[in-house]
Amino acid sequence: MVREAVQGEKHPRAKLTNRDVMEIVELLKKNELEPEEIASMYNVCKSSITNIKYGLSWTHLTGGKL
């Protein structure tokens, strides 16, 4: 029996919702705030934001690198 990987907000340790990630994507596209500032807004670490930016996480929503 093969289990499918749990992605995104359905993962039990997820701190971000799908909506949060889409808001973060928009903030990153505007390029007005540093990743550290966005991270503090969503109570996550800077690497969570840079991973979204560079297409290392949440790619099922973002489609990859921004």
Q: What is the pLDDT of residue 66?
A: 79
The range of the structural domain enclosing residue 41 comes to 17-62
pLDDT for 30: 95
Residue 43 domain-assigned? yes
Domains: count for the chain: 1
What pLDDT is stored for residue 2 in this prediction? 73
What are 45's two structure tokens?
A: 């670490």
How far apart, in whole angstroms, are the C-alpha atoms of residue 3 and residue 18? 22
pTM score, two decimals? Answer: 0.87
Cβ within 8 Å of residue 64, ≥6 positions away? 55
Q: How far apart are CA 61 and CA 65, in angstroms?
A: 11
Domain-located, residue 31: yes
Widest CA span of the chain, in angstroms?
47
- For 21-48, the pLDDT digits (tens) are 999 999 999 999 999 999 999 999 999 9
Flag whether pLDDT at 11 surpasses 80: yes
Band of pLDDT at residue 4, cut at 50, 70 and 90: confident
